[in-house]
A and B are shown apart, each in its own frame.
Chain A
Amino acid sequence: MQLTFALAKGRLAEKVAEILTQCGIDCSTLTAPTRKLVLFDKDGKYRFIFVKPADVPTYIERGVADIGVVGKDTLVEENKDVYEMADLKFGACRMCVAGYPERKNAVTSNCLRVASKYVNTARNFFLTKGVNVDIIKLNGSVELGPVIGLSDVIVDIVESGKTLEANGLVILEEIFRSSARLIVNKASLKTRYDEIMPLIEKIKKATEGKA
């Protein structure tokens, strides 16, 4: 049976296709426009499935996909039981706490209100700091939180910082640095060692020295 490769739809997938081509895998099917969610490489050695970024770790943990590429931000948030085999360096961003440079403390809110897509990341970060928080789950445009008064701060990934700047927000604290990671199912790595390890080595080589 083919190795199943889980890819996050969008930019990450394009980048992965590029790397796999460098590894000698003909995956021109990946870049052609299609609405199919399951694709194969030319030699039929790999099966590619396209899923939402946050679902990549789930597919890998449950073993329906053997190997995948996903951002560290998603990996930390989803906290699934998978092997994290390599840092692919691309897709770099920072997980940050952002807000107004000076926060006016309201008498009635002694609890920090935090808006985020990354609720687990946010909860764990403030837990280790011993700060009481009220986590507000948002699904997008998180920067609006402090602007409109929904939250005091946000926890989100920052690439260029332009969105923050445009809304008058600044980075208050960096939680961790993120980039794309190669993840592997815990059983597949052992039971399909001879297929997976050479591929991992090739991918590592192809991404070495890149930023």
Chain B
Amino acid sequence: MKKFQLPYGVQDYLPQECYNKELVENKLSEVFYKCGYERVETSALEYFDLFDGILPPSAINKMFKMTDSDGSLLVLRPDTTLQICRMAAGNLDTGEINRLYYCENSFEFLTDNSTARTREFAQVGVELLGNTGIDGDIEIILTAIEALKAAGLKDFLIDIGNLDYFGGIIEECGFDASDAKEITDYINNKDVLGIEMFLTSKRTEAKFRDALIGLPTLFGKDNVLDRAEKLCSNKRSLKAVRDLKKTVAAVRECGLGDYISVDLGMLCGNYYSGLVIRGIAKDLGVSILDGGRYDGLCGKFGAPMQAVGFAIGTKRLLKALENQGALRETLPCDIAYVQLKNFCKEEYAYVNEMKKSGKRVQKTFFTEKEDLLSYCRKKSVRTAVIFDGKNYEEIKVKG
């Protein structure tokens, strides 16, 4: 038989995996729906020009591009959040609070086929648009915890940071964009030596040195925010710490303190502006959930408003669930039947009756009763039905 290979970084979902994917997507959707979020779908194709100038070149390079018949450049959906900001302009009332969720595949153009990333990835995410402030941050973190719990995930953490802490310090230092980018990379990798060498080359003042070298150590469960407060003096950073303190305190009051930790050295994303969150599980080496506040982004599409949200990587969540032994087996049908003569309306009526009573019914195409019974035993189907024209016989099958 001829076999086919897919391009790297994409996949088919076969029944067993697809069954679990659907279960998980439904559970997440239910959590979001109950919090008042409404589902949207976005187009898979967009004009490239929409994103050009809004995203950094590194992100622009990672878009799947193609040309339209009129020569304009198209991209495959790189990120649903960006599209929702585009959708907000003109379609949503920016003076109101809008709660939206989605369940969609996005695409990343990768050239390194040895990476752990995939080129097509399914995400389920929420966006809370409008003037929500810290209460919005809290809602998003609580929703993230509820969602992962509902999906059946155990031993996970939502890591919480705030980009304004770092932003305040580099603003004070007077670093330009390319310096800021370089030091961001070092801090993201907790590379203290790299930071030291960079600051030495820039002859940075001692008080900023301490703050920047301290940043990679500002993570964990306790005292992090108190330590952070002592390391800097500018207003923006201090406000970030105070906001985080309120947010963390609120989550702890809800009895969910075990699910959160803080990391001020987490400087992720291309467009986040304040709060950033990342969900990680003990049984998977990569993040499962990513999100944060993106107050400036809608404005770039002409609909200025605050916004905060997150996306869960469905495939990664499934992998973590599998590692925790929490995936389910697909269910067998309740009834399998054969028609030994020609199809008749009585057969159709019977099947409909069974379906109405909640049974899952499958027609098979065996010619012998014995073949049907052994099929039922193999597939754990509990009831076998043999139609001989209009008449039928039900047989209980023991496993």
- Given the known interface contacts A61-B285, A62-B116, A186-B287, the answer about A191 and B190 at a Cβ–Cβ threshold of 8 Å is no
Residues 130-157 of chain B, each 1 if its beta carbon lies under 8 Å from chain A, else 0: 0000000000000000000000000111
Q: Are A190 and B157 in contact (CB under 8 A)?
A: yes
Q: Does B282 contact A (CB under 8 A)?
A: yes
CB-defined contacts of B261 to chain A, threshold 8 Å: 190, 193
Q: Does A188 contact B (CB under 8 A)?
A: yes
Interface hub of A60, A86, A187, A188 (most chain B Cβ within 10 A): A187
Interface of A is mostly: mixed
Q: Are B191 and A63 in contact (CB under 8 A)?
A: no
CA distance A174 to B221 in the complex (A): 41
Q: Does B286 contact A (CB under 8 A)?
A: yes
CB-defined contacts of B263 to chain A, threshold 8 Å: 190
Q: Are A61 and B116 in contact (CB under 8 A)?
A: yes
CA distance A85 to B190 in the complex (A): 6
Interface size class of A (residues with CB under 8 A): 20 to 34
CB-defined contacts of A83 to chain B, threshold 8 Å: 189-190
Q: Does B244 contact A (CB under 8 A)?
A: no
Interface hub of B156, B159, B190, B194 (most chain A Cβ within 10 A): B190
Q: Are B285 and A186 in contact (CB under 8 A)?
A: yes
- Which residues of chain A in 184-198 are interfacial with respect to chain B, using CB atoms and an 8 Å cutoff? 185-193, 197
Q: Are A84 and B221 in contact (CB under 8 A)?
A: no
Q: Are A191 and B286 in contact (CB under 8 A)?
A: no
Total A-B Cβ pairs within 8 A: 56
CB-defined contacts of A58 to chain B, threshold 8 Å: 114
* Chain A residue nearest in CB terms to B279: A187
CB-defined contacts of A190 to chain B, threshold 8 Å: 157, 159, 219, 261, 263, 280
Distance (Å) between the CB of B233 and the closest chain A CB?
A: 28
Distance (Å) between the CB of A62 and the closest chain B CB?
A: 5
Q: Are A193 and B286 in contact (CB under 8 A)?
A: no
Q: Does B84 contact A (CB under 8 A)?
A: no
Residues 81-103 of chain A, each 1 if its beta carbon lies under 8 Å from chain B, else 0: 11111110000000000000000
Q: Which of B114, B192, B286 contacts A187 (CB 8 A)?
A: B286
Q: Are A186 and B282 in contact (CB under 8 A)?
A: no
CA distance A211 to B116 in the complex (A): 35
CA distance A188 to B286 in the complex (A): 9
CB-defined contacts of B193 to chain A, threshold 8 Å: 84, 87
CA distance A166 to B189 in the complex (A): 38
Q: Does A64 contact B (CB under 8 A)?
A: yes
Distance (Å) between the CB of A198 and the closest chain B CB?
A: 12
* Chain B residue nearest in CB terms to A187: B280
* Chain B residue nearest in CB terms to A79: B112
Residues 254-265 of chain B, each 1 if its beta carbon lies under 8 Å from chain A, else 0: 000000010100
CB-defined contacts of B284 to chain A, threshold 8 Å: 63, 187
Distance (Å) between the CB of A56 and the closest chain B CB?
A: 14
Q: Does B302 contact A (CB under 8 A)?
A: no
Residues 42-65 of chain A, each 1 if its beta carbon lies under 8 Å from chain B, else 0: 000000000000000010111110
CB-defined contacts of A85 to chain B, threshold 8 Å: 190
Q: Are A192 and B282 in contact (CB under 8 A)?
A: yes
CB-defined contacts of A188 to chain B, threshold 8 Å: 285
* Chain B residue nearest in CB terms to A78: B114
Distance (Å) between the CB of B216 and the closest chain A CB?
A: 8
Q: Are A193 and B220 in contact (CB under 8 A)?
A: yes
Q: Are A193 and B221 in contact (CB under 8 A)?
A: yes
- Can you list the 8 inter-chain pairs with the closest CB atoms, starting with the nearest? A63-B285, A187-B280, A84-B191, A191-B282, A83-B190, A185-B285, A87-B193, A84-B189
Pairs across A and B, CB under 8 Å, 19 listed: A61-B285, A62-B116, A63-B284, A64-B285, A84-B191, A84-B194, A185-B285, A187-B284, A187-B285, A187-B286, A187-B287, A189-B219, A190-B159, A190-B280, A191-B155, A191-B157, A193-B220, A193-B221, A197-B220
New A-B pairs, 9, CB < 8 Å, besides A61-B286, A190-B159, A190-B263: A60-B285, A64-B285, A84-B190, A84-B193, A86-B192, A87-B193, A186-B287, A188-B285, A190-B261
